[in-house]
Structures are given as structure tokens and as C-alpha cells.
Amino acid sequence: MNTNRDSTPLRKQCGAEFIATAFLLIAIVGSGIAADRLSGGNQGLALLANAAATSGALFAIILTFAPTSGAHMNPAVTLVAAWSGNFAWKNVFPYALAQVLGAVLGTWIAHGMFDLEILEISSHTRTGAGQWLAEFIATVGLLGVIRGCAAYSVPTAAAAVAAYIGGAYWFTASTSFANPAVTIARSLTDTFSGIRPADVPAFIGAQLMAAAAIGLMLRAKAPKDRP
Amino acid sequence: MNTNRDSTPLRKQCGAEFIATAFLLIAIVGSGIAADRLSGGNQGLALLANAAATSGALFAIILTFAPTSGAHMNPAVTLVAAWSGNFAWKNVFPYALAQVLGAVLGTWIAHGMFDLEILEISSHTRTGAGQWLAEFIATVGLLGVIRGCAAYSVPTAAAAVAAYIGGAYWFTASTSFANPAVTIARSLTDTFSGIRPADVPAFIGAQLMAAAAIGLMLRAKAPKDRP
Amino acid sequence: MNTNRDSTPLRKQCGAEFIATAFLLIAIVGSGIAADRLSGGNQGLALLANAAATSGALFAIILTFAPTSGAHMNPAVTLVAAWSGNFAWKNVFPYALAQVLGAVLGTWIAHGMFDLEILEISSHTRTGAGQWLAEFIATVGLLGVIRGCAAYSVPTAAAAVAAYIGGAYWFTASTSFANPAVTIARSLTDTFSGIRPADVPAFIGAQLMAAAAIGLMLRAKAPKDRP
Amino acid sequence: MNTNRDSTPLRKQCGAEFIATAFLLIAIVGSGIAADRLSGGNQGLALLANAAATSGALFAIILTFAPTSGAHMNPAVTLVAAWSGNFAWKNVFPYALAQVLGAVLGTWIAHGMFDLEILEISSHTRTGAGQWLAEFIATVGLLGVIRGCAAYSVPTAAAAVAAYIGGAYWFTASTSFANPAVTIARSLTDTFSGIRPADVPAFIGAQLMAAAAIGLMLRAKAPKDRP
């Protein structure tokens, strides 16, 4: 996941992050809309469909874009990659920008497919200490899985991340956003997967605290592991 | 997926495409009928079963037929393979014909299993700009995943395609037909997965536009990537 | 799946088939009972759980027992293996006997776990031309997937079979027994997954016709493929 | 799964077991709470989500921690590893302690995320001969799958264990605890996945009997297999 081919030009890498993150949001927001419409009011059934669709799409998207850009699709992932010395710091902002812009575009495409207004603002309240703890745990887990699976093949790592996120939709109280770009984009949809703009900063704060925790841990370990 | 063994005779390849696509439609149409009957009117539950069954069958079918014919089962896939130079143009029509005939046969076998009239015409309306956009996005995504996963092993590519389609049933507004042969065959079933004949041309048009977009992109990249 | 290690004594192979098939029936019958009890009368939800549990267990059981006995767990699979020259004819009956006895034991263990009478006879009607066609198609598909995936690694073949069966629970009108040993054992449970003894012969007949069709096809191809 | 790298210090291995088991319980208890809240009283739907989330998380956790500690997360697994000569007896207690403490912490984190009292005692009755038989069968199956898949790669073994547990939630009458550390921790949550403290000893007894059965079997086979 932290692959960073120096031979691929940054422009092409950022293009891959842009398209990959757009597809990720099409999957998250789109399946949320369909699940909510079709599930007859049963939120459990809707979340089951939303989680399965996100997990399946994530597996395919990671495999497709990993060779080009590492398929981060997540500023927290990019930050930890830089912190642990596997990614150039100067490329963090371009990556994060491509991820956020792609995420917003993907949300809008989902709206277009489902005949909704393109521009929306979410009214879905997601706040409180439990949810913030959930975002911290969800992000620590995601970053830990990515780090722990870096030694396996790309398909294995992709399967691990997809399985983890599919599970984390259920086992965290926040349905596991675990991604600042995704969080920003989901504030722009007033559907199943939305989050009120007012609740975004705390979510991103928890996610970045998790990134810092994992990043510091990796930096502390680095001197011992790689002399 | 784009494997095209020159050593396998075309007759045998087309036979594989015929049987593979027949089984694919048995899976799509058959599981749609069963899901609709058993789900007590909950369309979300029915789509969950339909998506899971299609995804599982697709994985097994691709693995089974990939060594013989590449397991395209989809004229859009065959077209892009030809466009990108991985498939002989003269074999496109035989492949597409085998796919369409197999798809129709599969639909009829599903009807036979579930004690329905063999010959039906769908009355299921699927139309509108949102659905056409959805078919374009769904097909771009499918073709992109196939192209992006061509460098992995066949099992990994098969898993990626199956996971993508399982997800796309949910995250596109059209439940992701993404396949002209499948679209034609599904006009011949008046069940859960059907589509009115009148709505078929626009779906296929969107799918072929997606194939052209990906095909042109691959052709544009080709000179740079393979000198 | 057709692995037949000559170095493993037949007694040990049959023991593996016995235990493997017992666990398979624990999975099929047990998950059927639990699904039926917990699903509040929604047969679609029950079948979704039944299919997912069977598929997951099947994947694990095949991997566990494939190195010892090939993990056939199915007289139709054993017959086709013998027909195509990959299995000694004299071992077919011992294998089939171990499979049937294991299947019956597994059904009884499932009854014990769920506090049911150990000895039951099913009253679940499963009959008619549609269901017989379904069993023929389901078994042809299963045997075709096993044959088509024999060239891949054992984990890939196991995943393909598990995915196929998980799908076939839905896309066939009979929920895909596709296995004479399983069919016999399921006549001994009056629960979700049962089948009336009177309906067993036609199911097994359809399954054996499928085995004969695949077996003859493989035999016809053999001279060309392996000189 | 039984990997035990002598080069990794015991302190670090126990830390991995602690964190891994904590995450496992976050997944089990957390997804149980969410599933119960969202499923509108349908216990089948809740168990489907609980099983899928546990299975997905388990796959990712095993992959992440297997290189460090073998990712046992289960005193029964550790015991069998020692019994079969693949694990030092003196490390069994430290491993088991880390597993139990991690499991308890994970349960409490789940409570924190879902705004429940951190300290709870379960009132969920799980008792009777059927359930004890179920725990014995579930644990025999788990240990057998781990042993049977030891010859495959870590990703394959992890997938087999995750698929088995996802299935066993359904096909055993006890929803397959199969783990003394998990059983103890689940007595400390009065939610969907809880178990009354009074019912814990019999569950653990059944699990340890299964471990003894598998351990004795492996010991009996050992002289023949490895001279």
C-alpha cells in the first residue's frame, strides 16, 4: 500500500489518486443511497449492503491503482507513509489535494446517478466522545493493518484492508470513516453516508491523532529495525 | 481476463464464451428470481442475495474459462481487448455472437429451473439520465479494473472483477449491467433482473461509450508504454 | 480437488472423507437450523445465512482435507475423478461409503447441538421437473468448476468451489444439493435443509446424469489432450 | 498460525497477542452492539452482520500479527501449539495472560465507543448440553483447520480461519466462541455477544476438552510423521 514508484511521474500518481478516490466515494455514497432506498427502513440491512459494497469496491480499486500511486486514497495513509520514510514529504500535499478533489467528484457523480441535487450539505449528526474514540480506533486499526500487511503481496494487503473496512463499518460506533478526504466529501451528501459539516473537524482530528500515534510509533521503531 | 491463447482454436474459444456466458446468466437471472420469491417483498434483501450470488458465480466462472477463452463473457470487454491490441479484430464478432447466444440460453435455463415460461419479454422499466450515467460509470469501472488487474495472476483478477461487480450492483443506480450481451438477455426475462426492450439501446449505448473511452485511452497510452 | 496421493493409505483417505463430509453436513444442516430459528420467518434471510455459512465452511474444509484425500466429500466428484483417470476405480465405493456415513453423522451432530431428536425423517417436499433440471445444472456447474480449476493452486480451487456453491444456493431452484451423499443425509433432518426421502432418488438421478455427462466429456477429450 | 519466531523477544510477542486479541474483541463485541441496535429486532440479520464483521476483522488481524506472534489470540490454540511441539511450554502462560487481558481491554473499548458503561456483567444465558457439544465441535473444527492449513501460506491459513469462524457463528448452537480468552471477555459485556459468568466454566471446559483431543491426536501422530 505504501508503494511509491519513483519512476512514475507525480502528475500521473496524483491522477491515479484522484480517480481512485472518486471511485471509492462513488462506492460509499452510491451504495449508501441504494441501500437506504431499498431496505424498507431497516438500517441494519442498509449498513450490511453499504459495508459489503464498499469492501468489494475497495479491493478492486486498491488492486487497480496500487501499481501507479500506491492507492492511498487517504491523507492519513499518505502522512504515515511520509512519517515512516516511505514517501517524500513534498508529495504529501499534492496527494492529499488529489484525494480530496477526487472524493468530492465521486460524491457528485453518485448524486448524478441517483437523480439527486449535485450540491448538497449533510444534516446527518455524528458527534460525541464515543464516535471520536471510534474514529481514533478505526484509523489506528486501518493504519496498523496497512503497515502490518506491507510485507505480503499487494493482493493480500488489498484483501486485508477491504476485509478490515467491511468489518469496521460494524464494529466501530462511527461506521469507520478513518479517512480525512472521505470525511470531507461525505459532508457534501445529505444521504445515508453523510456527516454534518460541523461534525467534520472532530472526526478529522481523531483520524490525524491516530496517524500521529502510528507515525511516531513507526519512527521510534525505525532505528532498531533498519540500522 | 484479456488472455487470448493463439494455440486454442477459435471454435473452442467461442464454445467456452457460450457456456461461460450461459452460466453467468443462469446466476444473474436465477438468483434474481429466487431472491425475489424468498425475500418477502424486501427489495434490499433481494438485491443483497442477487449481488452475492452473481459475485460468487462470476469468480468461479472466470477461473474456469479464463485458460480457454479469456472468459470475457462481455462484448465490451472483447472490444477493448481488440482496441488495445490484445485480441484479433476478426474474432470480435464470433466472440460477441457466442456471448449473446449463451446469455439468452442461460436466461431460458433459469426460466426452466424456476417453472416459468421460457419465452418472456421484460416489463421492468430502467431508463433516465441517472441510469445511463450509471451504466457508463459501471462499465468504465469494470473495464478499468480488468485493465488494471491484468498484471496480476488470473485468480487475483477474477477476485477483483467479482468483488467489483458485487459492489457495483449497489453503488450504481442501474445495478450495473455493464455488459451488452447481459443487457440483451435480461430483456428476455420478466423477473427481478429484467429490463424492458425499449430501454436496452440506451443501456448498450452507454456501455459502448465507456468501452470507446477506455479503448481510446489505452490506445493513446500505448506508444509511450510499449515502444 | 482430484488430488489422490498414492502414498496416503486408503484407510486414512477414507477417514479424511468421513470427517470432512461430517463437518460439511454440520455446516449445512446446523446453519440451516440456526438461520431458520433466528430469521423471523424471512426465508430469504435464512437462505442468505445458510449459503454464507456453507460457503465459508466449505472453503476451510477443502483446504484442511485436500492434502490427505482430495476433499471430494461427494460421490459425484469421486466418480468423475475415476472416469477421467485421476482416481482408482476400486477406491470409489470406499470413498462413497465414507462420504455417506460421514454425512449422516454430521446431520446427527447438528441435531445434537440444536437439541433436536437425533433421528428424524424430512417432510420437506422438493420435486418437479424444474428442481431436477436445477440439480442437473448445479452438478454440471460444480463438476465443471472443479475440473476447470484443477490447474490452479488448491486454495484457488477451494475458493472457486466455495464461491460457486454459495452462489448456487440462490441461482438454482433446488438450492443446489449437487451431491448424492449430502442428499441422502439431508433426508434425515426435518429442518430447513431437509428433503423428503421420496424426493431423494430423482435428485440423485439428476446428479449422476450430470456426473456421467461431465465424465463422458472428459473421456472424449482425454485422447486429444494427453497423448 | 503456529509460527513462533524464536528471534522475536517474548515481550514483543505478548504485546502483539495483547493488541491483536483486543482488536478481535472490539470486532466481536462492537459489531454485536451495532448489529443489535440497527437490525430492528431481527436476530438473524444481527448475527449475519456480527459474523461478517468478525470474519473480516479476523482475517486482517491474523495477517497483521502473524509475523510477530503467530496471531494465536486464543489460549486453546497456544496450548495445542505447545502440545504438538511447535511452541515452548514456558511461554504458554504469558501468551494466555496477554490474550485474556487484551480481550478484556477490547471489550471495554467497545463499550467506550458505543457509550455504554465500561464495566458490565453479562446476563445472557448460554447453557445446556447442546451448547457444550457445540463448543466442543466448534473448537475441534477451529483447531483442525489451523492444523490442516499450517502447510499453506499465512494468507491462505488466515482466510481459512476467518471463513470457518464466519460460518461457525451460524452452524454451531453456541455461535462458536471456541476461545477461552474470548469467553472470559464476553462475560464482561451485557450486550448481544455476552455470556453469563455462570455459563463460562462449562464453555471453557468444552473448549479445553477439544484442545486436549486435538493435542493428543497430534502427539500420537507425531512419532510417525517426524522420525
What does the pLDDT look like over C101-154, one tens digit per residue? 999 999 999 999 999 999 999 999 999 999 999 999 999 999 999 999 999 999
The closest of B114, B78, B130 to B193, measured between CA atoms, is B114
B99-109: per-residue pLDDT in tens?
A: 999 999 999 99
Look at residue D7 in the predicted model and tell me its pLDDT: 77
Shortest CA gap A48–chain B (Å): 9
Contacts of D42 in chain A (CB under 8 A): 42, 44
Instruction: Report which of residues A172 and D5 the model is more confident about.
Output: A172
Residue of C55, C130, C169 with shortest CB distance to B114: C130
The verdict on a CB contact (< 8 Å) between C26 and D137 is: yes
Q: What are phi and psi of A159, to 5 degrees?
A: -65, -40
**Dihedral (Cα; D129, D132, D137, D141), 10-degree rounding:** 170
Does residue A5 belong to any structural domain of this protein? no
Q: Which residue of chain D has the CA closest to C157?
A: D156
- Pairwise CA distance, residues C139 & C133, whole Å: 10
Angle at B64 between CA B62 and CA B65, to 5 degrees: 70
Residue of B40, B56, B63 with shortest CB distance to C166: B56
Shortest CA gap C220–chain D (Å): 35
Contacts of C42 in chain B (CB under 8 A): 38-40, 42, 45
- Residue C165: its H or E element: helix C154-171
Size of interface C-D (CB pairs under 8 A): 127
Residue of A56, A109, A112 with shortest CB distance to B163: A56
Shortest CA gap B1–chain A (Å): 14
Q: What is the mean pLDDT of residues A82-97?
A: 95
Look at residue D85 in the predicted model and tell me its pLDDT: 87
Contacts of A59 in chain B (CB under 8 A): 159-160, 163-164
Asked if this assembly's ipTM is beyond 0.85, the reply is: yes
Does residue C3 belong to any structural domain of this protein? no
Axis crossing angle, helix A154-171 with helix A129-148, rounded to the nearest 10: 170
Contacts of D60 in chain A (CB under 8 A): 141, 145, 149, 160-161, 163-164, 167
Size of interface A-B (CB pairs under 8 A): 127
What is the share, in percent, of chain C residues with pLDDT greater than 90?
A: 90
Does residue C5 belong to any structural domain of this protein? no
C interface with B, Cβ–Cβ < 8 A, is 41-45, 47-48, 51-52, 55, 128-131, 133-134, 137, 141, 144-145, 147-149, 151-153, 156, 159-161, 163-164, 166-174
* Best residue in C54, C149, C171, C221 for a mutation probing chain B (most B CBs within 10 Å): C171
For residue B79 the three cell numbers come to 472490444
Look at residue A7 in the predicted model and tell me its pLDDT: 77
The yes-or-no verdict on residue C222 having pLDDT over 80 is no
A111's CB contacts (< 8 A; 6+ apart) are A29, A117, A118, A120, A189
Does residue C148 belong to any structural domain of this protein? yes
Shortest CA gap B157–chain C (Å): 12
* Best residue in A48, A63, A114, A161 for a mutation probing chain B (most B CBs within 10 Å): A63
For residue B177 the three cell numbers come to 449491467
The yes-or-no verdict on residue C211 having pLDDT over 70 is yes
Confidence of residue C220 (pLDDT cuts 50, 70, 90): confident
B interface with A, Cβ–Cβ < 8 A, is 41-45, 47-48, 51-52, 55, 128-131, 133-134, 137, 141, 144-145, 147-149, 151-153, 156, 159-161, 163-164, 166-174
- Residues B188, B119: contact at Cβ < 8 Å? yes
Greatest C-alpha distance within chain C: 58
For residue A194 the three cell numbers come to 453523510
A120-145: per-residue pLDDT in tens?
A: 999 999 999 999 999 999 999 999 99
CATH of the domain at B206: 1.20.1080.10
Q: What is the sign of the dihedral through the CA atoms of B61, B66, B72 and B73?
A: negative
What is B127-139 written as a DSSP string? -SHHHHHHHHHHH
Shortest CA gap D211–chain C (Å): 17
Look at residue B51 in the predicted model and tell me its pLDDT: 98
The yes-or-no verdict on residue C178 having pLDDT over 70 is yes
Domain range enclosing B104: 10-225
For residue D41 the three cell numbers come to 429486532
What is C27-73 written as a DSSP string? HHHHHHHHHHHHTTT-HHHHHHHHHHHHHHHHHHHHHHHHHHH----
B226's CB contacts (< 8 A; 6+ apart) are none
- Residue D214: its H or E element: helix D200-225
Does residue B203 belong to any structural domain of this protein? yes
B161-190: per-residue pLDDT in tens?
A: 999 999 999 999 999 999 999 999 999 999
A interface with D, Cβ–Cβ < 8 A, is 41-45, 47-48, 51-52, 55, 128-131, 133-134, 137, 141, 144-145, 147-149, 151-153, 156, 159-161, 163-164, 166-174
Shortest CA gap B179–chain C (Å): 19
A23-54: per-residue pLDDT in tens?
A: 999 999 999 999 999 999 999 999 999 999 99
- Pairwise CA distance, residues B11 & A218, whole Å: 57
Q: Which residue of chain A has the CA closest to D19?
A: A141
Does residue B5 belong to any structural domain of this protein? no
Contacts of B59 in chain C (CB under 8 A): 159-160, 163-164
Look at residue C221 in the predicted model and tell me its pLDDT: 77
D46's CB contacts (< 8 A; 6+ apart) are A44, D32, D35, D36, D38, D39, D192
Q: Which residue of chain C has the CA closest to B40?
A: C42
Look at residue B219 in the predicted model and tell me its pLDDT: 83
Contacts of B109 in chain C (CB under 8 A): 133, 137
The yes-or-no verdict on residue A187 having pLDDT over 50 is yes
Look at residue D219 in the predicted model and tell me its pLDDT: 84
Confidence of residue B223 (pLDDT cuts 50, 70, 90): low
The yes-or-no verdict on residue B226 having pLDDT over 80 is no
Q: Which residue of chain B has the CA closest to A26?
A: B171
The yes-or-no verdict on residue B1 having pLDDT over 90 is no
* Best residue in D12, D17, D43, D64 for a mutation probing chain A (most A CBs within 10 Å): D64
Look at chain B and report how many structural domains it folds into: 1
For residue D20 the three cell numbers come to 491483536
- Pairwise CA distance, residues C150 & B72, whole Å: 20
Number of Cβ within a 10 Å radius of residue D105: 18
Outline where DSSP puts E strands in chain C. none
Query: pLDDT digit of tens for each residue in chain D (227 aa)?
Result: 444 456 789 999 999 999 999 999 999 999 999 999 999 999 999 999 999 999 999 999 999 999 999 999 999 999 999 998 889 999 999 999 999 999 999 999 999 999 999 999 999 999 999 999 999 999 999 999 999 999 999 999 999 999 999 999 999 999 999 999 999 999 999 999 999 999 999 999 999 999 999 998 888 876 554 44
Does residue B188 belong to any structural domain of this protein? yes
For residue D55 the three cell numbers come to 470474519
Q: What are phi and psi of A66, to 5 degrees?
A: -55, -40
Cell 433466528 identifies what position? C38
- Pairwise CA distance, residues C68 & C20, whole Å: 11
Look at residue D221 in the predicted model and tell me its pLDDT: 77
Q: Which residue of chain C has the CA closest to B23?
A: C141
Does residue B173 belong to any structural domain of this protein? yes
Look at residue A220 in the predicted model and tell me its pLDDT: 81
